[in-house]
Amino acid sequence: MQGSSRQKLDQRTFRAQVLECRDKGYLLSSKKIGSGAFSKVYLAYATQERIQHNPRLASDLRGKRHTMVAIKIISTAKVPVEFSRKFLPREISSLHATYKHLNVVQLYETYQGSQRCYLVLELADGGDLLQHINAMSARRCCPGLEEKEARRLFRQLVSAVAHCHNSGVVHRDLKCENILLDERGFLKLTDFGFASQLGLKNSLLSTFCGSMAYTAPEILMSKKYSGEQADLWSLGVILYAMVTGKLPFKEHQPHRMILLMRRGPAFPPGLSPECQDLIQALLQLCPRARLGLQQVATHRWMLPAAHMLFRISTAPAESVVASREDSAPPRPLQQLRPLQHQETPKNGSGQVPAPLKACPRQAAGSARPGIRSIAVTNLPPGATFALSHVHHQERAGALPGQLRAGEWIERRPDKPFIP
């Protein structure tokens, strides 16, 4: 009896959503393509009348063969007050700030219903990067993507993150599940629910959020952190996942995760030294020792198309990201070091992890042999409100034998954030 009542309530809710979408010029389908703690995402169709009255929608759909969009529906009646007042506006603001870029999901418009908020988004129906890695691993009978395919996607991801940082937005939840693919094979960065816009120069963040498997060590150690440098760590984890089919560090407890991070990632046989070097240069325990986005773009594993990375935006006059450091001198690329078998603890695969490079950074004359010494400085540290009373809860989930999603660090509604 209780199940029947619940089903009837869901049907009434969906009918109300259909009517509210139709009033705005969208035909909501029953196909659910995503869901979150307080939201659901449905496939929908834009009417011709709506397309004519929405310049963003008309511009984006002009090059496509369909009128489909994704509509994210947030139940404002059920979400915590802190979420509706702070985090939802931040997500919308971040999507507006990062419009328009080929590799960032586009926000066409938002509107408010009686008990719901609607975000009309660009459709990317090719699945997420996690699904793509698992599908290609099964097809190849070998874990991970081929380096050529990983390079193609990683270039687009770096371009998207560079555009966000250049627009004053740090994502803070970069992971394979938040990276979508469209029908043309383009990568689309999505889910800006934990995003923060940069504030005062050199100010730091303190929110403990994201997914543990992708979270930078300084966040796990409860230190204040630069959002941009934390995003760089996540990029290293994603690249490792792309080329190996697994996550570099997997633990349920933060202190044990930090021990694995100190040992560094272990690489399978056959992975190119250049790719290993780029991953190690991103997975630096010291935030300032990580390669900046400009250095990532000019890394020899990324060549020869690195010069196009920061011009992939469809917005006019997109400039190259000029990176800066607060007080430190420019730093060249770090030395390429072959894997060495030392007397250090082994991971489950039996391989000896490569140690993390020490902080602070190397001197200016210690560039990698065989790689051009490119002296560029890091991006400015991110900033946002310092938040407290953060509670995290761990949850793992994936099929055995596949790349597993990270433990998710979640906010509890009964523990509000206090700026």
Question: What is the largest distance, in Å, between two alpha-carbon atoms of the chain?
Answer: 74
* Paired strand residues for 405: 397
Torsion of CA 374, 380, 382, 386, to 10 degrees: 130
- CATH topology for 129-409 is Transferase(Phosphotransferase); domain 1 (1.10.510)
> What is the CB-side half-sphere exposure of residue 191 using CA atoms within 13 A?
20
> In the CATH hierarchy, which top-level class contains the domain 22-121?
alpha beta
pLDDT at 328: 36
Task: Write out the residue limits of the CATH 3.30.200.20 domain(s) in the chain.
Answer: 22-121
For the record, the structure tokens of 195 come out as: 């995003």
136-141's contacts with Cβ under 8 Å and 24+ in sequence apart are 137/245, 137/402, 137/403
Burial of residue 14 (CB within 10 Å: 0-12, 13-18, 19+) is middle
pLDDT at 346: 43
What is the mean pLDDT for each group of 10 consecutive residues in the chain (419 residues)? 76 94 97 89 97 94 91 91 87 95 97 93 95 96 97 98 96 96 94 86 82 95 95 98 97 93 96 98 97 96 65 41 35 35 41 39 34 31 30 35 41 34
Q: Which residues are catalytic?
A: 173
Task: Write out the residue limits of the CATH 1.10.510.10 domain(s) in the chain.
Answer: 129-409
CB 174 within 8 A of CB 213: no
pTM for the predicted model, two decimal places: 0.73
